[in-house]
Amino acid sequence: MMPVNSTTQRGGYIALLAVLVVGAAATAISLALLTVGTDSQRSALVELQSKQAHALAVACAQEALQVVHDNVAFSGTGSLIIGQGSCSYTVTVTAGTTRTITTSSLVNSIVKKIQVYVTIGTSSISIISWQDVS
């Protein structure tokens, strides 16, 4: 039987300690990458919902323009439900031939608003201003 010297035992402990340190570092890096990936997915989803909410607000404004085109005396509200979102619009008479259209859309918790000022002519509707509002 060979005697065990202290150098051989230390080598085993150092190897075991090195494996533990490398394993802990690999685990920390893996968790960091998973967290970054999850945050990236969440950001992409919020951006997609924001674009959907804006498109829905635009659709609502176009619907309101169509209603005003069909009935120039219209003043009131309406709403649409498209896909996973909903929107509402309000048409107010600001002067004899001018109207203000305000829309608000909601997709999950994302809200987008648009305000449109139009002038009604004898045979057409002219958009004076179209802007996103907060």
The string of DSSP codes covering 95-121 is SSSEEEEEEEEEETTEEEEEEEEEEE-
Q: Residue 44 belongs to a domain with what CATH number?
A: 3.30.1300.30
* Strands across the sheet containing 98-107: 76-82, 85-93, 98-107, 110-120, 125-133
Domain count of the fold of the chain: 1
pTM of the model: 0.73
Q: Is residue 97 part of a domain?
A: yes
Query: Cβ distance 98 to 109 under 8 Å?
Result: no
Say if 98 falls within a structural domain.
yes
Give per-residue pLDDT as tens, 92-122. 999 889 999 999 999 999 999 999 999 998 8
Cβ contact 64:78 at 8 Å: yes
In this structure, is residue 65 part of a structural domain? yes
Residue 1 lies inside a defined structural domain of this protein = no
Domain annotation covers residue 73: yes
